[in-house]
Amino acid sequence: MKYENLTIENDGAICVVTINRPESLNALNNKTLTELEHVFDMLTDNNTIRVVILTGSGTKSFVAGADIKEFLEVAPANGGGVAQRGQDIFFKIENLNKPVIAAVNGFALGGGCELAMACHLRIASENAKFAQPEVNLGIIAGYGGTQRLVQYVGKTKAMELHLTGDMINAAEAQTLGLVNNVVPIEQLLDECKKIAAKIISKSPEAVAGVIRSINAYFEEGTNGYKVEVEEFGKVFNSGNFIEGVHAFIEKRKPNFK
């Protein structure tokens, strides 16, 4: 598939996916969502890529929200379908079997904030801004924002941010637990790649097991402890576990496959 709104750059085992609609502050239109879905479907079965970094083009905006103009083209009765499609695509990101790091390089508003929250880690530039301002348009977040923001910052603050539509800066987002780290924008991609390199040095089966087990905590009707047992059993039976144990005993770095 040829991408019009995304650029893909592979750096060894790291794949950098950039949303490239600078004229719209990288807003998520239907075409961009379709391309994101295709990319993450492809990455699921790609054993060469071990970590994905997702960012936006330029220095002003990660993703400034959904493309609101397209909402006017949707029949009122089909609004739920719009939200469901966005959630389905973001679930693919959240449940990818390898870590996705959001490099938030500016505005992460509405659907952009929701997209960042669907990633496993969030590193923000100092100029980053976060908000769920949908109430200002008479709607609510539809791509999982009401659920994920509670997970990260708690019910009280999530309720405030959704009800007021207020914007918070990167420093406050870090204090609240919404982002992992804040760095100068010129260091953002390097910081993400540094974290990615650390993850790549670990066993891929163990990394995938961590993602699956932690996500299970938030899955309705799923026993996270049971999932943890299952994932533990998988990695316990892997060659990389044997290598890790021998490396520990021999006081050397493991050579995971």
pLDDT digit string (tens) for 135-156? Answer: 999 999 999 999 999 999 999 9
Please state which of the ranges 37-51, 57-71, 171-185 shows the lowest mean pLDDT: 57-71
Catalytic residue numbers?
Answer: 114, 134
Q: Is the pLDDT of residue 174 over 90?
A: yes
- Binned at pLDDT 50, 70 and 90, residue 251 comes out as confident
The answer to whether position 231 is within a domain reads: yes
CA dist 255 and 257 (Å) reads 7
Contacts of 89 (CB under 8 A, 6+ apart): 33, 36, 37, 40
- Regarding whether 187 and 94 lie in a shared domain, the answer is yes
Hey, is 11 helix, strand or coil? strand
* 21 and 99 assigned to the same domain: yes
Residues 94 and 164 in one domain: yes
Do 239 and 182 sit in the same domain of this protein? no
What's residue 199's pLDDT?
97
Residues 97 and 118 in one domain: yes
| Within a domain: 257 | no
pTM attached to this predicted model: 0.95
Instruction: Please tell me the predicted confidence (pLDDT) of residue 83.
Output: 92
Do 148 and 211 fall within a single domain?
A: no
Task: For residues 223 and 143, state if they share a domain.
Answer: no
170/108 Cα distance (integer angstroms): 10
Q: What per-residue confidence (pLDDT) applies to 255?
A: 80
Task: Note whether 12 and 129 are same-domain residues.
Answer: yes
> Is there a single domain that holds both residue 147 and residue 240?
no
Our CA angle for 63, 84, 2, nearest 5°, is 55
DSSP string, 75-113: -GGGHHHHHHHHHHHHHHHHT-SS-EEEEE-SEEETHHH
User: Computed from CA positions of residues 243, 246, 248, 251, in that sequence, does the dihedral angle turn out positive or negative?
Assistant: negative
- How far apart are alpha carbons 50 and 207 in whole angstroms? 9
| Structure confidence at residue 158 (pLDDT) | 98
What is the arithmetic mean of pLDDT over 68-78? Answer: 78
Domain membership of residue 97 (yes or no) is yes
Same domain, 140 and 53: yes
> Per the structure, how many domains does the chain have?
2
Overall average pLDDT of the 82-86 stretch: 94
Domain with 243 in it: 202-249
Query: For residue 79, what pLDDT is reported?
Result: 81
Give the 3-state secondary structure of residue 120: coil
- Indicate whether 209 belongs to any domain: yes
Query: Residues 179, 235: one domain?
Result: no
Cβ burial, residue 194 (10 Å; 0-12/13-18/19+): exposed
